[in-house]
Amino acid sequence: MTPAGASLLDRLAAIEGEGLAAIGEAADSAALESARVEYLGRNGRLADVMSLIGTVEARARRDVGQRANAVKTVLRGALEARAKALESATRGPSARIDLTLPARGRWVGGVHPVTRVIDEICEIFAELGFTSVLGPEIESTWYNFTALNIPLDHPAADMMDTFYLDKDVVLRTHTSPVQARVMETFRPPVRVVVPGLAYRRDSFDPSHAPAFEQIEGLAVDEGVDFVEFRAAIEHFVHHFFGRGTKSRFRPSFYPFTEPSAEVDVSCAVCAGGGCSTCKRTGWITIMGSGMVDPAVFKAVGYDPERYTGYAFGMGPARIAMVRHGIPDMRLLYEGEMSFLQQFT
Ligand code: DAH
């Protein structure tokens, strides 16, 4: 090889070594760009050498040309790799945060609308001296039916409505059995509210659920009469639904109360004018109630000559539906966040 060819190969070796060093040391994209211009640019050091290839004697020309192309490939590869490394370095954790994006908002938990109804009802009755108590969800037929003056052949005890776990054991169909448990345990005066789940063999539909909350109430003492009963319910209605809400007692029947009444409140949605929530009647039934039947007192060992009392039972899910104008009970039990979030 002639001295001209040999000196070009030396220069290519130097370009390769120095170029790789310059690229490797480039601390930012500007430094990298100037290394690129210096070594691979149109008037750069590699282009210089390439422009001289024509002056090399024919025999050596091929070697020098191949070597020049190889150096070019090596430096291009190094440039690309360095550019990538610099890019991911500048995209550190802080560089990845786009401050122009709208904030995602924190998830804030809330109290379920049915739970809120239960809490408020218990609080309102607490003002009247009622204590909140709980009872078992798995219950004997004695407490669920017999002690409440419901014969086992009564339709309410029927297999159609009741989940039987055993011959004498059921999932309670209402919270009323806790009345009997409380009276068995405590002497009068008794004033309790009992929130809890009840179970019935109903399928989920817009107004039924197989497991649903109830709140039971019971007040027993000497001299408790219908006037106190009405006053307590009216106090509750005014505090829960608002002062302007009217209530009325409608005669009804329950085996454990005599007389029995259903309590209706004036429809808040249409103010009594008639709408779909109140089925055009202007009234919404919120509870069953009545004066405790003497047969229940006898079953729990209270003297029916001495004591009188009233009891009531209501469904907080139904009340939440009335309060918020919710058309389908299943919405309250499906746990759909997009629905529930509106109540937080
Ligand atoms: N236990 C009844 C039910 O589940 C509700 C009820 C009605 C409870 C009248 C009472 C009452 O305490 O006096 O339908």
* 102 domain-assigned: no
Q: Give yes or no: residues 232 and 331 share one domain.
A: yes
What is the best residue among 144, 174, 199, 213 to mutate for testing ligand 1's pocket, by most ligand atoms within 8 Å of CB? 174
Is the CB of 135 within 6 Å of ligand 1? no
Q: Tell whether 75 and 119 lie within a shared domain.
A: no
- Residues near 219 by beta carbon (within 8 Å), at least 6 away in sequence: 130, 189, 190, 191, 228, 229, 232, 309, 310, 311
Nearest CA residue ID for atom 12, ligand 1:
312
DSSP string, 267-306: -TTTTTS--TTTTTSSEEEEEEEEEEPHHHHHHHT--TTT
What is the average pLDDT across 325-338?
90
- Of all atoms in ligand 1, which is nearest to the CA of residue 257? 13
Q: Does one domain contain both 126 and 257? A: yes
Same domain, 160 and 259: yes
In this prediction, residue 160 carries a pLDDT of: 66
**pLDDT value of residue 95:** 65
Residue whose Cα lies nearest atom 13 of ligand 1: it is: 289
Residue 145 sits in the same domain as residue 171: yes
- 164 assigned to some structural domain: yes
Residue 214 alpha carbon, nearest atom of ligand 1: 4
Statement to judge: residues 72 and 125 lie in one domain: no
> Is beta strand 190-199 parallel, antiparallel or unpaired with respect to 131-132?
parallel
Domain boundary among 33, 67, 96: 96
Question: Tens of pLDDT along 210-240?
Answer: 999 999 999 999 999 999 999 999 999 999 9
- Cβ of 262 less than 6 Å from ligand 1: no
How far does the centroid of ligand 1 lie from the alpha carbon of residue 216, in Å?
7
Looking at the domain assignment, is residue 334 inside a domain?
Answer: yes
CB 247 within 8 A of CB 264: yes
CB 214 within 8 A of CB 175: yes
- Contact between 170 and 148 (Cβ < 8 Å): no
Cβ of 254 closer than 6 Å to ligand 1, yes or no, is yes
pLDDT score, position 2: 61
Residue 69 identity (one-letter amino acid): N
Residue 101 within any structural domain of the chain: no
pLDDT band of 97, cuts 50, 70, 90:
confident
User: What is the arithmetic mean of pLDDT over 28-33?
Assistant: 89
Please provide the average confidence, as pLDDT, over all residues in the chain: 91
Domain presence at residue 121:
yes
Instruction: Please identify, by atom number, the ligand 1 atom nearest to the C-alpha of residue 256.
Output: 13
> Does ligand 1 have an atom closer than 6 angstroms to the CB of 311?
yes
pLDDT digits (tens, 9 = 90+) for 6-18: 888 999 999 999 9
Mean pLDDT of 275-291: 89
Q: Are residues 284 and 335 in the same domain?
A: yes
Please check whether residues 90 and 154 belong to one and the same domain. no
- Residue 106 in any domain: the answer is no
CA pair distance 97, 214, nearest whole angstrom: 49
Cβ-contact 238, 224 below 8 angstroms: no
Q: Is the CB of 245 under 6 A from ligand 1?
A: no
229 C-beta closer than 6 A to ligand 1: no
Domain with residue 193: its CATH number is 3.30.930.10
Domain count, the chain: 2
Contact yes or no for 185/226 (Cβ under 8 A)? no
pLDDT tens for each residue of 154-183: 877 776 689 999 999 999 999 999 999 999
> Could you tell me if residue 107 is inside a domain?
no
What is the dihedral sign for C-alpha 279, 280, 286, 291? negative
The verdict on residue 104 lying in a domain is no
Same domain, 87 and 134: no
Are residue 144 and residue 11 in the same domain, yes or no? no
Region 279-284: what's the mean pLDDT?
88
- Do 136 and 282 sit in the same domain of this protein? yes
Domain that holds residue 81: 3-96
Buried b (16+ CB within 10 A) or exposed e, 61-100: eeebeebbeebbeebeebbeebeeebeeeeeeeeeeeeee
- Kindly state whether residues 286 and 145 are assigned to the same domain: yes
